[in-house]
Amino acid sequence: MLLENKVALITGGASGQGAVEARRFVEEGATVIITDLNDEGGQKLAEEIGAHYLHHNVAEEEDWAKVKQYIEEKLDGKIDVLVNNAGILSMEGLDACSVEDFDKIMAINTRSQFLGMKLISPMMKAGASIINISSLAGITGQVNAIAYATSKWAVRGMTKAAALDLGPKGIRVNSVHPGTIATPMTAKYGVTEDGPLIFAALDRPGTADEVAEVVCFLASDKASYISGTEIVVDGGSATGDTAQLYGLLRSLAPKDES
């Protein structure tokens, strides 16, 4: 029971990685608050696993204030873990991305995490953990995803800055950088659990469960001396030129017809 007696807030928890994280946290003994805009999915999951659910637009400070008030009133102000998971993916290159699209991505993927840390961290005590979900795009960049990659790089830097600010209070802050993960959000781009991924050393997309295991560890006391760093969960995709060359050679290799 890695998270016994801990209270955790997971944004974007109604589906995808967030939902898997919520399930995993409950299994490990945490009291979980799920927030999302998907009220039907969020309520259903909360009832199924025994969690709290709140409607929450993560890009709006007023909604974060309501979440904070809920924690104060319903959970005696106790909050040990914040998982800034909510985010959206947009595949648009520099020429195609409008200013409005750029601002929307930054609001949901980056400003939301700033607001979460700003409003929730004052409620936290020493030993608390904040996990900001970024992306492999926040390590390597990504083609045809100018706003998305920018937002995820910003999360990476913001995490390091927040870790320095909150470290004296005993609060840890880390970012998790998933590679290509099979979720409902990536399914529309053809990502499936059994599909090949030639630029990953492990030659497959990851699963939400594999990301949740890392998030759960960072939330636990077993990660008590890990702060201000990025954890990459990508099957070996971020190993630089070597992985790119390995994938290219593999794609060009003769196929075994036997």
Q: Which fold has domain 7-252?
A: Rossmann fold (3.40.50)
Average pLDDT over residues 45-54: 98
pLDDT of residue 258: 40
Q: Point out the residues that are catalytic.
A: 148
Residue 141: per-residue pLDDT: 86
The answer for residues whose C-beta is within 8 angstroms of residue 167's C-beta and 6 or more apart is 227, 228
- DSSP codes, 181-233: EESHHHHTTT--TTS--TTSTTSS-EEHHHHHHHHHHHHSGGGTT--S-EEEE
pLDDT at 157: 98
pLDDT tens figures, 188-230:
555 666 665 556 777 778 899 999 999 999 999 999 999 999 9
Domain regions of the chain by residue span: 7-252
Task: Name the pLDDT band for 180 (thresholds 50, 70, 90).
Answer: confident
Nearest-angstrom CA–CA distance, 160 and 154: 10
Q: How confident is the model at residue 246 (pLDDT cuts 50, 70, 90)?
A: very low
Q: Is the pLDDT of residue 237 over 90?
A: no
